[in-house]
Structure 1
C-alpha cells in the first residue's frame, strides 16, 4: 500500500496511479516469495517469476558502518545504462551529492522498519537530456530473520534511439513509502525533490 507522501508542487497531479503495472507486478513477485515472514529470503525469490525483471533488477547491501550502498547483483540493463558493470560500486557515487545522505537513510529505513519505497527519479544522460526512471525498492534478507539487503527494479520508457547512457541520478520528483505490513518511516522525503 502506498503512503501519501509526495511533493505535488514538484509533480502536479501526481497520484499513486502513476505507478506502472510492471512495478506492481514486481512487488507481487516479492510478496509471493515472502511466505508469511516479514521479508523474503533472497534464496526464496522465485527465479522463474523474477526473470522478466532481471535485466533491470539489482540487489544492494547497505554498509551500516560507512554510509555506502554497494551493488551486490546487477542486471545487464544497468551495464548499458551506465556503460560499465556496477557490481561492487557504491550507488551513492551515481547520485547528486546533495541527496546522498537522504538516499542512504531512506534505504536503511526500508531495512529497519521493513517497508518499500517507490519513486520517479530523473536521470541526466550523456547527451544532457533527462530520462524519468521508476524505482521500486523492497527489503530482503540474505539468510537471517532481519532485512539486510534491498531489491531494486528500475522501469522507464525505452527511447526509440536505444538505451541512453546515464551520467547522474537526480532528485526524485515523486516518492511514496510502500507499507508491507509494518507501517512506514517518518523520514521526510522532501529532500528527494529538492524541497
Structure 2
C-alpha cells in the first residue's frame, strides 16, 4: 500500500467533505499523526489538537460485530443525547435494520481501511428530525490492526443543538467510501 503525497491525500479528504471546518481539522491531524504510514495509530491521535472540533469528535473501538464502543464522545454529543456516551455501544442508538447496516458499514471500513462520509438522520423525542454528516477515518493499534476509528459530525438541517428534545433514534440516509490510499470496498456502504 502506498501513502502517496500528504498534500494530495489532504486535498482528497477535503474534497470528500467540502466546507466542513471540523472535517478539515480532523483530516489535517489524522495525516500528521500517520506520518509516513497509511494510517495513524490510535496512540498518535491527540483529540485536544482539533480545537473547536473536539466537542464533535467520536472515537469508536471495534470490539465485535455487536459492540462498537464509544471510547470518546465529545461534549456536543452529551448535549444532544442527554447523557455521556463514552463506554456505551454505538449500535444501541439504532433501531431495527439500521443497527445491522451501521455495524456492517463501520466494520467494512476497518476491514478494508478507508474513510467514510455518511449523512445520518436523527429523530428527536418531540418527533422532529435533523440531518448531520459524519466524516470518519480508521486508526490502528500498535501492531497495525485497524481497531478504532475517529469521526466528526456537522449538522446539515435542524438546529445544531436541538430545541426539540434529545435524540431518540438515528439512521443513515446516504454513505460513501473515501479512498485514503488503499482503495475502497467493492460494495457500496449499506444505508
- TM-score normalized with structure 2 length: 0.81
Match of 1:112 in 2: 111
Match of 2:177 in 1: 177
In 1, Cα distance between the equivalents of 2:59 and 2:17? 26
Match of 1:25 in 2: 25
Q: Quick one: structure 1 residues 56 and 85, their matched pair in 2 at CA, closer, same or farther if it must change by over 3 Å?
A: same
1:144 equivalent in alignment to 2:143 = yes
* Kept in 1: contact 2:41–2:142 (CA 8 A): yes
Listed one character per residue, the Cα deviations across residues 146-174 of structure 1 (whole Å, up to 9, x for unaligned) are 2110112111157287565111102x222
Match of 2:167 in 1: 166
**In structure 1, the residue corresponding to 2:62 is in which secondary structure?**
coil
Alpha-carbon RMSD across the aligned residues, in angstroms, is 2.4
Larger relative contact order (CA 8 Å, sep ≥ 6): 1
Q: How many residues align?
A: 177
Where structure 2 has 5 or more consecutive residues not aligned to the other structure, the ranges are 1-11
The alpha-carbon deviation at position 113 of structure 1 amounts to 1.3
Q: Quick one: structure 1 residues 166 and 141, their matched pair in 2 at CA, closer, same or farther if it must change by over 3 Å?
A: same
Listed one character per residue, the Cα deviations across residues 6-44 of structure 1 (whole Å, up to 9, x for unaligned) are xxxxxxxxx967663432332222112111112111221
Is 143-152 or 117-126 further displaced after alignment? 143-152
- TM-score normalized with structure 1 length: 0.80
Where structure 1 has 5 or more consecutive residues not aligned to the other structure, the ranges are 3-14
In 2, Cα distance between the equivalents of 1:112 and 1:161? 33
Is 124-133 or 41-50 further displaced after alignment? 41-50
